[in-house]
Amino acid sequence: MAQKSKTVFVCSNCGYDAPKWQGKCPSCGQWNTFKEMTIMPERRSEKIASGVLDNGHKSEPVRLSSISAAEEPRIDTHDTELNRVLGGGLVPGSLTLLGGEPGIGKSTLLLQTILGMRDKNVLYVSGEESERQIKLRADRLNHQGTDCLLLCETELERIFAHIKNTQPDMVVIDSIQTIFTSTIDSAPGNITQIRECTAAILKYAKESSVPVILIGHITKDGTIAGPKVLEHIVDTVLQFEGDRHYFYRILRSIKNRFGSTAELGIYEMRSDGLIAVENPSQVLVNEDNAELSGVAVAAAIEGARPFLIETQALVSTAAYGTPQRSSTGFDTRRLNMLLAVLEKRVGFKLGQKDVFLNIAGGIRVSDPAIDLSVIAAVLSSNVDTGIERSVCLTGEVGLSGEIRPVTRIAQRISEAQKLGFERMIVPAANVKGLDKKGITIELVPVKRVEEALRALFG
């Protein structure tokens, strides 16, 4: 007697399932996230992928001591920024998810990447665009003499049939929300469809050692559309972000089973595609020598990459009674904390003034070492006095007004020295034991915020 399917309700945020609908998820605490889902008696993903996997692979237990600990060989994408964020390149058999806002450049990034991999047979599956649209984009990218296999299809069974016939070295699917399997009676983009299709693709990737890259849409709040378990299934989650009003795009790693999640890739959007920015410091720092008030240069690090950025601040009298606190590219709560430190520890009264902060270039920085430059930019705007353009700062500010040490100080100093800065204000704790061989820039060690301000403004 055949088993019947059953209906359960699954939380789209964490994947928790319950036999009946609930308003609040008991696992993650989110409201109105339960969606109805049909559970079949057999695992659909195994049947879906069985048509392309004919190796009769069966899992068996092995001893830990018999497993080789050698590092997995990486596939070079011929893109220095993408390789850095991935941890050195694509791992064979890995499943990577690339998310981002519509029109930010996800398809352009992957298309130009696979066109640059001339030694690989790559299958590009598009469920959103026609062959002609993709051809026009490829011509605009100016990749002469390169080619790839193109398939415009949304049914997963047909995609696996073409994979079996072509035997590609790498597969790109744009996007996972448009793919569906005929074994499930629901529309594409449904939680059930996304979950089962991704599971089938993962099974194929792991058993065939072919890397697969999925493109995913994001919701209004910036999370990847579909169930949260989608991010748990894949090996790597990349976020492609940026402001459409700026030329620069940021590639971040949110999850990476094969490398660090602290790495950062920076691209410049041009008419002929995305160009990797090898030295972001020269791009993010304005070379104008005019000493404008409210501008300070900070030495920041994202992952293992040092770069210099401009922090811009504007302080003005609150016109409507209630002062505003606004920041772009920086945590607003941390800005409020730094303003409280200024008022309590240094004695500057900013309670009745509007404070606006901006990180130049449209990027977002989470490195606490830019605290000192934020404070310097705010005070520079408040007293309307410019900071010398030959000075840069680095240091974390504590609640008692002390300047705390930062990590990788030698890399920060080297980056500032390379761009021609003459003086650098650093935490005093970082100078102790520092090898000053080869350092030509003047280091100004400070222990408290007051010392840093005296060094800047006299």
Residues belonging to the binding site are: 100-107
Distances in Å between the Cα of 282 and the Cα atoms of 248, 287, 458 are 13, 8, 28
- As a dihedral over the C-alpha atoms of residue 25, residue 26, residue 30, residue 31, rounded to 10 degrees, the angle is 50
Classified as helix, coil or strand, 216 is strand
Give the tokens for residue 133. Answer: 């649209």
Nearest alpha-carbon partner for 311 in 286, 339, 340, 278: 286
Q: What is the CA radius of gyration of the chain?
A: 26
29 CA to centre of own chain: 26
Phi-psi region of 285 (alpha: psi -120 to 50; beta: other; left: phi over 0): beta
Say if CB 397 and CB 366 are below 8 A apart.
no
CA–CA gap between residue 243 and residue 13 (Å, rounded)? 26
Question: Strand pairing of 170-174 and 212-216?
Answer: parallel
Query: What's the number of CA atoms in the CB half-sphere (13 Å) around residue 272?
Result: 5
Classified as helix, coil or strand, 346 is helix
Does 175 sit behind a cis peptide bond, omega within 30 degrees of 0 on the bond before it? yes
- CA-CA-CA-CA torsion sign (147, 148, 151, 152): negative
DSSP lists the bridge partners of residue 62 as none
Binding-site members for ATP are 100-107
CA–CA gap between residue 39 and residue 185 (Å, rounded)? 11
Nearest alpha-carbon partner for 276 in 421, 119, 66, 85: 85
- CA angle (125 as vertex; 113, 43 as ends), nearest 5: 120
Classified as helix, coil or strand, 93 is coil
Give the tokens for residue 326. Answer: 């606004």
